[in-house]
Amino acid sequence: PAVSGVNQDGATVNFADVYAKGPTVVFFYPKADTPGCTKQACSLRDAFAELSKEGVQVLGVSFDKPDSQKAFKDKFTLPYDLIADPEGKVVAAFKVDKMMKGIIPLATRQCFLIKGGKVVWHDAKASTDQQAADIKRVLSELK
């Protein structure tokens, strides 16, 4: 989806501009700096150099606010933007299911690969520590 959101620094990120740079991984996670979300984000961090060689961009999205996203990014040295989506506009644009923790909405863990402006792969039950391996496998199959 051609949507925009605010990154961890409060800057607007237009997803279409990111897609134009090459294949784009957009992953959704429930909450910054929680065990499963950290494994998922760090899996992509650890494979970032390899993915970048393939021209792949990475964006992480959750309902967290920019300051929480910034703290998460800084704590784990994540080399990609984290999109703060407290109103759920990006979550809705991607039709990602929500779950509730009390009155707090959380995105379900999902991952998308966008190539040529189209979703070419969607993992509705995205992995945590194997997220990067799943993406690398899909990228090799698409060649």
Longest CA–CA span in the chain (Å) reads: 44
Instruction: Read off the DSSP letter of residue 117.
Output: T
Tokens 């040529």 label which residue? Answer: 116
On whether the CB atoms of residues 113 and 138 are closer than 8 A, the answer is yes
42 is catalytic: no
On whether the CB atoms of residues 63 and 105 are closer than 8 A, the answer is yes
Catalytic residue among 6, 13, 25, 37: 37
Residues involved in catalysis: 37
